[in-house]
Amino acid sequence: MAGGLFFVLLALDQLVKLLVMTTMTPGESVPVIKGIFHITYVLNPGAAFGMLPHQSWFFILAGAAMIAAFCFYYPRLKRRCGYFHYGCVSLLAGAVGNLIDRIRSGLVVDFFDFRIWPVFNIADIAIVLGVMSMIYAILYKEKEMDE
């Protein structure tokens, strides 16, 4: 099941990015709900919020390290709470999705634009939900398992 989650998140991220790249030009914005939500094609040279721009090698090495750590620790993750286990899988899928972009062009394709927040993508959503799930597991679920 975890492998399925990983591949669904990764495939969805890459397919939508491909759709954006083939149908839009960088900087183009299409309103879905005018003034509130747009699909905007942005090429992000950095991390979240554009931090550390043009540090592609750093992000590629960090992504590779994350994949290696995940593979090393995965047997232990399977024995943890489901929220933690699947949170790690979601985090990894998002990291790999953005890593593919960085390897391909040195830039991450972003497109969800709510006009009050930096533009983001499906991989970013997977990362945030994964981390939230892991935090929830650590704060609440794993304590229940210890009792």
From the list 13, 101, 113, 124, the catalytic residue is 124
The answer to whether residue 110 is catalytic is: yes
- Residue 101 to residue 107: CA distance in whole angstroms: 6
Least Cα distance to 107 among 21, 30, 28 occurs for 21
The answer to whether residue 101 is catalytic is: no
From the list 13, 101, 110, 113, the catalytic residue is 110
Cα R_g (the chain), whole angstroms: 17
Burial group, residue 66, by CB count within 10 angstroms (0-12, 13-18, 19+): middle
Residue 102 CB contacts under 8 Å (≥ 6 apart), including other chains: 56, 59, 60, 63, 108
Instruction: Please give the positions annotated as active site.
Output: 110, 124
